[in-house]
Amino acid sequence: MNLFFIKSIIALFFLAAGITALISMLTLMGKVNSKLNPKLLRKIHKTAGLTFFILLIAISIICLHYVAKVGDALSLRAVLHSFFALALFIILVLKIMIVRFYEKFLKFAPQLGMTVFILAFIVFSSSAGFYFLTSGGSPEKEKETSSQIDLSKEGNIDRGKTLFQNKCQSCHLAESEKSKVGPGLKNLFKKERLPYSQNPATVDNVLEQLESPARNMPSFSSLSESELANLFAYLKTL
């Protein structure tokens, strides 16, 4: 189970806590004839807010660990994700400070709460949402195992290049060995060993990396046999 999957599952609970805090706040402050007990709503809002904050800290620790690994090779999406996450953290801390210590500014708390939720949704969508869309929401989607896949048939290089551009190019360079988010893949099959895993640079080991990635790479176990044949045909030209 890779780190992106774990982070994305935590992010689901993070978003759920944010939605709960938002709905309880709107019901408490905007619904005149609400039948719910205001004390209960405040308790729900406080509990959801605390859960939201704790999960934000947990996700931030995972993200900082990832950033420390990749350094300045972050993708544009990751940079924007980090920017919105930092803005979210600052505004959330500001809201907490106002609620606890600066009662004269309490009138701004609802607007800050709405801003926090909007930023939380953007942060979730740019990371966990993107992960679930690209991976199918599973760390190991059921498909043919490596031993059942026949890659002896010749793949289409052009289709493989298109697949690479759609699935891999955001993290890997094709024209260089320099790292982007992941290692550059030029001369991939001309090397003795694969980057990171250090396994021999064979088709089987690259296939294993796609299905059960080393480090923080998302799994691409959902690729079909023909897609894999096309991808490997292209990778062999690098």
- Reported for 94-100, long-range contacts at CB under 8 A and 24+ positions apart, including other chains, are 96/53
| Token output for 32 | 């005149």
> pLDDT value at position 123?
93
User: Can you tell me which residue has the tokens 């990749």?
Assistant: 70
What Å distances lie between residue 102 and 43, 66, 108, CA to CA?
20, 36, 11
| Token output for 97 | 């400070």
| Token output for 167 | 């699935």
- Walk along the chain (238 residues) and give the pLDDT tens digit of each residue: 567 788 889 999 999 999 999 999 888 887 656 677 888 888 999 999 999 999 999 999 988 877 776 555 566 787 888 899 999 999 999 999 998 898 888 889 889 999 999 999 999 998 888 878 876 655 544 444 444 455 666 789 999 999 998 888 888 899 988 888 888 899 988 888 887 777 888 888 888 888 877 666 777 877 888 888 899 999 999 8
70 exposure class (CB count in 10 Å sphere: 0-12, 13-18, 19+)? middle
> Is residue 227 helix, strand or coil?
helix
| Token output for 36 | 């719910």
Asked if 208 and 199 touch (Cβ cutoff 8 Å), the reply is yes
Assigned CATH topology for domain 151-235: Cytochrome Bc1 Complex; Chain D, domain 2 (1.10.760)
> pLDDT value at position 97?
92
pTM over 0.85: no
> pLDDT value at position 146?
46
| Token output for 129 | 């949402």
